[in-house]
Every structure is written in C-alpha cells, then in structure tokens.
Amino acid sequence: MDNGNLASNNGRSLLVIGGGIAGLTAALEAAEAGCSAIIIEKSPSLGGRAIAFNQYFPKLCPPTCGFEINFRRIKNNPRITVLTQAELEEITGSAGDYEATVKLSPRFVTNSCTVCGACAEACPAERPDGFNYNLSKTKAAYLPHKMAFPAQYVIDRNACKKDCSACVDACRYGAINLEQQVERKKFHVAAVVLATGWAPYDASKITNLGFGCYPNVVTNVLLERMAAVNGPTAGKILRPSDGKEPATVAFVQCAGSRDENHLPYCSSVCCSASLKHSTYIHNLYPDAQVTIFYIDTRTPGFLQDFYAKVATNGHLKMIKGKVGKVEEDPETHDLIVTAEEVLTGTKLTQKFSMVVLAAGIVPQTDGIPLKVARDQFGFAVNGTAGIFAAGCAKRPEEVSATVRDATGAALKALQCAVRSAHHG
C-alpha cells in the first residue's frame, strides 16, 4: 500500500471514489491486474456500511471475515493508494485522460500513531459516535472502531474544547499535530469507479411508524449496532426506553421503500436483513416472539434458501400485511402495531416490546463534482465514458452482488486505462 506520496502517475491509474466493499473490490481487482488504483474515502477508515454490521447474511459470519483479507491484500499491494478523509474536489479531462483534484482534510494524527489510546484517555471532549449511528459517544480523539483500517486515531477538531492540547501532551510518540491543514493532491487517472454506496433512509419521515417519537421504535441499522459485540450495548439487544430485554419484536418491512411517498423502489436487502435480525434476537433470547410484517418477502436467488432456513424457527411469525400504524402505550412504552393480515383478511392490533423499521437504501451520489448520469431516484447509471459505478451507488444490492458488480466495473475501467495507454 502506498500512502499517497508515491501516487503512480503513468496514466494507467484508476480513481476509486468510496472505500466500502465495492470500492475496495474494484481497487484490488484492478491493482492485482497491474493497474494502479487510488481509493479516496470520505470517512477516516475503510469498509463502508458493511463493516458496521454484526453479521452478514446468508452465511452469518462477522464482517472481520471478508474485510481482514481485503485489508491485508491492500497492505501488500504497492499499486493501491488509500486516502481517507478525502473527497474529489474537481475533475477535468475525459475518458482515458482525467486530472482529479482531491481534497484531504486533516486527521491531526500522523503515521507514527501506535493505537495506544493515550490521546483518547486524556481527551476531555466528547462527540457522537457516527459508527454507532450516534447511539453512543467517543472522545474527540478517537479510533473510528476496533477494526479500523488504517489503524490510526483521528481528532475531531469540531468537538475539541477551546485551546485544549491534552492529547498532544499525552502522546508519547509525537503522533499528534494539531496544526495540520487541508491538503490538495492532483492525480492523472484514466478512469473513475464511483462506489459511494448508500445511507439509510431517514425513518423519521415515515410519520405513521413513530421512529423518533417512541424510544422503542428503532431502525435496522441501529439494531445491527446493538447486536454487535463492539457496539454501544456490547452485543445486547435492549429496549432503549428501559434497557430491558424485548420479549416481542415486530419488524416493519418496506419502511419507506416501495412507497411513492418515500422511496418508490425496493431496497432489495431489507427482507433478508430482517430475517438475519430475527436470528440475532433468537440467539440472545430463544423464546422471544418475532413477527415480520411484509408486503412480499423478497429474497431472490440463494437468499431464498436463507429465508427457508430462518423461517423454520417456531418463534418467528411472518405476517403478510404492511404495518399502517405504530402507537405507544405511554405507561410501558410498549408499542401497538396495527396491520391487516392479508391472508385471513382480518385486522390486527398487537402489542410489542420493540419495533424495528426495515428502512431502505438511499444512494449517495449527491454532491460529487463528477458528470455522471443518475436515474430518477439518484442511482448512478453507467453511460458516461470513463466513469463506472459499482455497488449500492448503482443499485440496492447485497455484499456478494456488490463484489461481483465491482469486479465488473474494475474490468471496464481497466479496459479504459489500457486503451489510453496504447494511444498515449
């Protein structure tokens, strides 16, 4: 791996925007085929959304599985340049011959960091922990998460106390430099892979489902963090209102997705994700009653087997019928869910100790200074020569599909680079 000092500039480089599973895959596949790749990642560490999960469907293995191998491959590959806290500022030129200007925000912690954590211990300030979807806090001097790559602390200067330099004094390695400034780097690249991924839909916009009003209504991404051992509750799924174990949990599928008032498209992964979440709950509390309210269960291909396997659990009930209303019993903070059970045609009002909204995927293609075609929902559409989208920036898809997609995008980008090298 190269830290940007040796950025290959021979005209056969690719620029990969986004360091999630899609970006990592595209960069690795291209680099292992002999092309240089520069990954620019907005946040301080790689891995994107998927690294924050507790487990992956369908195999239910922890994210360490895939990501550790990928991080090792990156470390060992001199053709890959990783830039974190980096964003594309400007790009000029055309397919085969782009000049990209990348803006690097200061990390305030240098390569000398040994991840000892003395800075965080000394730090008096706190900030909401975005990795845990703000369910917990970190110090202003923080490690993004235990598996963070690069393994290096960061300082959130916006959260710092005025005139404080406690961390500088605490660090024995002199790794902290609060004077770091914004930097800009220019790269000559042949093609761009757009892999900026997704963000969860803002569930508070779905006013009838009570997220943001009732503490025990949570979203699927929050549940992932609760279930994760390195998460805010150390792997316990507990009711936010009173910290109790939930006895009954309702999942509301298509919370925002397939809805003309919110996201008109199917987010494609949330059915499998909720099935996976039911296994989290049953691993912790085997007797908990889990009910999944769905319009249709969409688990295509091999995910159908995953569905069939999970559905054998007698404590999992699948009810066809979308939840129309979530209300709260103000005394107990239990939730009252209303739906129509379509298969029997009866209306149902039932109490649950917790409700999980299976919120959908919103593509993150806004605000990138790149001329890329997008569909009416904001998903990137291939069609601009030299720019290839991959992963959830292109369509909602699970990790394995993302990997296949990114491999394809890498090949397309490679072809572009090879063509330009022949001509150039």
Partner 1 sequence: MGEPHAVQPDQKVIEDLMAFGAHDFKKCFQCATCSAVCTLSNNDFAFPRKQMIAAQWGLKDKLMGDPGPWLCFYCGECSKNCPRKANPGETMMALRRYLTSAYDWTGLSRLMYSSAFWEIGILALVSAIVVALFTLPQSFGFGLLSRSGAAPLHTVMLDKFAPVGMVDMGDRIMALVLSFFLLTNAARMFYYLTRDQKIPARLYITQLPSLILHAATQKRWNGCKDSEATKNWIRHLLLVTGYVTMFTLVVVFLPWFQVNDSSIHWTSFLGYYATTVLVGATVWMLIDRIRQHGEMYQFSHLSDWLFPILLFLTAVTGIGMHLLRVNDLPMATYVMYTVHMAIAVPMLVVEVPFGKWAHLLYRPLAIYVAAVRDKAAQCSSLEVAPAGPVPA
List residues near partner 1 by CB under 8 A: 208, 254, 258-262, 295, 320-325, 338-348
Return the biggest CA–CA distance within the chain: 73
45 vs 138, beta carbon nearer ligand FAD: 45
Nearest to 216 by CA among 357, 8, 74, 96: 357
Contact in structure between 343 and 359 (CB atoms under 8 Å): no
Q: Which of these ranges, 100-108, 173-181, 190-198, 203-211, lies near ligand FAD under the rule CB under 6 A?
A: 190-198
Which contiguous run of DSSP H or E holds residue 53?
none
Show contacts with ligand FAD in window 6-35 (CB under 6 A). 17-23
Q: Which residues are CB-contacts of 108 (< 8 A; sequence separation ≥ 6)?
A: 154, 155, 157, 176, 177, 178, 180
Q: Give the whole-angstrom CA distance, residue 295 versus residue 321.
A: 5
- Within 13 Å and on the Cβ side, how many CA atoms surround 421? 17
**321 counts as binding ligand SF4 under rule CB under 6 A:** no
Among 43, 84, 196, 253, binds ligand SF4 (CB under 6 A): 253
- 383 alpha carbon, distance to own chain's centre: 25
**Which residues from 285-304 bind ligand SF4, rule CB under 6 A?**
295-296, 298
Q: Which residue has the tokens 């990156």?
A: 74
Q: Which of 8, 138, 364, 420 lies at the binding interface for ligand FAD (CB under 6 A)?
A: 364
**Under the criterion CB under 6 A, does residue 48 sit at the interface with ligand FAD?**
yes
- Alpha-carbon gap, residue 382 to 418, rounded angstroms: 19
Closest CA to 210 of 290, 328, 319, 294: 328
Residue 271 as a binder of ligand SF4 (CB under 6 A): the answer is yes
- How many residues sit in the footprint of ligand FAD (CB under 6 A)? 39
Q: With CB under 6 A as the contact rule, which of the stretches 153-161, 315-323, 344-352, 398-406 interacts with ligand FAD?
A: 398-406
Say whether residue 195 binds ligand FAD (CB under 6 A): yes
| 360 near ligand SF4, rule: CB under 6 A | yes
Q: Pick from ligand SF4, ligand FAD, partner 1, none: which does 208 bind, CB < 5 to 8 A by kind?
A: partner 1
Q: Which is nearer to partner 1, 115 or 343 (CB)?
A: 343
Candidates 11-19, 250-258, 327-335, 408-416: pick the segment binding ligand SF4 (CB under 6 A).
250-258
In one-letter notation, the amino acid at residue 69 is: I
Residue 13 touches which of partner 1, ligand FAD, ligand SF4, none (CB < 5 to 8 A by kind)? none
Q: Please give the single-letter amino acid code of residue 89.
A: E
Give the residue carrying structure tokens 């499998």: 272
Instruction: Based on the shown chain and the rule CB under 6 A, indicate whether residue 402 belongs to the binding site for ligand FAD.
Output: yes
Q: What angle do CA 88, 91, 94 make, to 5 degrees?
A: 140
Give least dist CB 323 to ligand SF4, A: 12
The one of ligand SF4, partner 1, ligand FAD, none whose footprint includes residue 239, by CB under 5 to 8 A per kind, is: none
Please name the amino acid found at residue 281. I
- Give the pair of three-digit tokens for residue 148: 């963070």
d(CA 277, CA 281): 6
Q: Is 420 in the site for ligand FAD (CB under 6 A)?
A: no
Among 267, 289, 291, 364, binds ligand SF4 (CB under 6 A): 267
- In 206-362, where does DSSP find H-type helix? 220-227, 270-284, 303-310
Sites of contact with ligand SF4 (CB under 6 A): 253-254, 257-258, 266-268, 270-271, 295-296, 298, 358, 360
